[in-house]
Amino acid sequence: MSGHSKWSTIKRKKGAADQKRGQEFSKLIKNISAAVREGGEDPDANTKLRGFVDKAKAINMPADTLKRAIARGSGTLDGVQVEEIAYEGYGPQGVAVLVDCLSDNRNRTTAEVRHILTKYGGSLGEGGCVAWMFDKRGMILVPREGVDADALMECAIENGAADVDDGDDQFFTITSEVADFDGLQKALEAAGFPIESAELTMIPQTTIEVDEKHAGSVIKIMNLLEELDDVQNVYSNFDISDEIMDKLDI
């Protein structure tokens, strides 16, 4: 397992107890407001917003908090204006790193991202230096427990899935082209399949095998970037073997 999937697996195994609830709310509020500004406040017509609203409900965000985030994005509630910023850079062994941010202070965010990368053997690059190594795709996770694999695969493929991966012991990972993502998600829900998460993500075209010497630094970079308030998503094309992962203290 590699790249985004590897990092997703690591975060799931760390467990909900590791997550900072207030920070998670803060990031989602920014995402919801930005999605409203970009595509309107109707979740049925705004795929990005719908995904964030689903995440907010999954972590039990209060309804009033969700409403205020939508109102702020639509301009009906005063609030701090934030901008979307994408950073590109490198980690140890030349692994590619993409960082999506929402920030009200570009200088602060740039300094924080650069500091983390350089401290652990990476560097901040120019725009476009690594983005070409990734493809934007839809990704849906369906829990394995109680799910008929054949029925899931048939439904997914018939409704636009590009791939159904059953290599994880907890989840089926379904990927699709961006244009097919919304219809695929709705079809799976209508068929009664439980959905753990559904998001648009960046998937690496190829991966870089990271050795034991550098693996800890790569994971440290990913963890610290995720912990920044302004960071919404972090993607990479690293691959670390299960044997090495078992030796890391994460």
Tens-digit pLDDT profile for residues 161-173: 999 988 778 889 9
User: 9 falls in which pLDDT band (50, 70, 90)?
Assistant: low
In angstroms, rounded to a whole number, what is the distance separating the alpha carbons of residues 61 and 122?
35
Residues whose CB is less than 8 angstroms from the CB of residue 142 and which lie 6 or more positions away in sequence, other chains included: 152, 171, 172, 174, 188, 193, 194, 195, 196
119-145 pLDDT tens trace: 999 999 999 999 999 999 999 999 999
Better-scored residue on pLDDT, 165 or 14:
165
Residue 62 scores a pLDDT above 80: yes
Tell me the domains of the chain and their CATH numbers: 3-74 (1.10.10.200), 83-132+205-247 (3.30.70.980), 134-204 (3.30.70.980)
Q: Minimal CA–CA distance to 182: which of 49, 61, 33? A: 49
Better-scored residue on pLDDT, 30 or 218:
218
What is the DSSP-derived secondary structure letter of residue 168? Answer: S
